[in-house]
Amino acid sequence: MPPIKNCTICCRLRDRETSFSKYLDPDLDRPFPEAADRLVIVAALGMKDAGKRHVRRCPECGTLYDYLSWHEYFINGSEENEELSRMNTAQAAVFIRAQARLLEALRREVDFLESSAGRLGDFIDRGRPGDAEAGEALAAMQEQRRQAAELRCRLQEHVAVLRRSCPEIIAAWAEAHVRVCRSFQASPGTGSENDGTARFVADETLSRWQRLAEGGESFIAIAEPWLDGYLERLDRELAETEKGT
Ligand SMILES: [Zn+2]
């Protein structure tokens, strides 16, 4: 992020801005500086009551701000207060990683349901189930596929809106995966005949994550049987605290 003073929006906002308005008493109004209107609300995941609390982003330099609003009720009219606080680099990094973890949690749900449906499909095709067993497996498989499709849509929507409102979140999520894929590419392998396939899967997965930021598909499956320990490595990449702190 460039320094605040080089940004035509952020240079007109102090680290903390407040606004105040009182019902039916416009003389007392003290709005945010106009530059605050140019900030864009981040369509963040997991935000409850986003009208009262959300994050805004400067479209020019990417600086993030915490937004908070609250009412106070009085007999002679309610008062409305707002507060806008600029995040420092560390606070922004914490927010971005937390959002990336939520995207990843959604991706894993889809991945889990699709893998599970796939195993049921294999069982129906090759497991020689009896009629009743096959019927049950088919119903379960169809339900898992339905749930997976629904969550996949939700993931796609989140990725689409975040690409516009806070591309840094998509980048952080993708970069964590890219680092894990590279760690598999760099590992010497086990010397088994599967090494070639594992290397191929790591290459393919890497290129899909590299395409994500530019508009590639939003759901990317991880073939864990070939990439043993992938998710644990990713959890470390997206952990709450920076490595070494
Ligand atoms: Zn800015």
> What's the CA-to-centroid distance between 90 and ligand 1, angstroms?
16
Q: What's the whole-number average pLDDT of the chain? A: 91
Half-sphere exposure of 225 (CA within 13 A, CB side): 5
> pTM of the full predicted structure?
0.90
Strand 40-41, strand 79-86: pairing: unpaired
- Report the Cα 11 to chain-centroid distance in Å: 28
Residues with CB under 5 A from ligand 1 (ion): 7, 9-10, 58, 60-61, 63
Task: Dihedral sign for Cα 65, 164, 59, 213, please.
Answer: positive
Quick one: DSSP state of residue 132? H
Q: What is the mean pLDDT of residues 146-153?
A: 97
Q: Residue 49's pLDDT is what?
A: 87
Confidence of residue 2 (pLDDT cuts 50, 70, 90): low
> What's the CA-to-centroid distance between 58 and ligand 1, angstroms?
5
- Of all residues in the chain, the percent with pLDDT exceeding 70 is 97
Half-sphere exposure of 58 (CA within 13 A, CB side): 26
Listed in sequence order, the residues at least 6 apart from 53 whose beta carbon sits closer than 8 Å to its beta carbon are 47, 66, 67, 68, 69
Residue-wise pLDDT tens digits, 186-214: 887 777 778 888 899 999 999 999 999 78
> What's the CA-to-centroid distance between 62 and ligand 1, angstroms?
6
How far lies 99's CA from each of 44, 183, 208, in Å? 7, 23, 20
> What's the CA-to-centroid distance between 10 and ligand 1, angstroms?
4
> What's the CA-to-centroid distance between 63 and ligand 1, angstroms?
5
pLDDT at 79 over 60: yes
> What's the CA-to-centroid distance between 15 and ligand 1, angstroms?
12
Q: What is the mean pLDDT of residues 54-79?
A: 92
> What's the CA-to-centroid distance between 37 and ligand 1, angstroms?
12
Confidence of residue 245 (pLDDT cuts 50, 70, 90): very low
Confidence of residue 4 (pLDDT cuts 50, 70, 90): confident
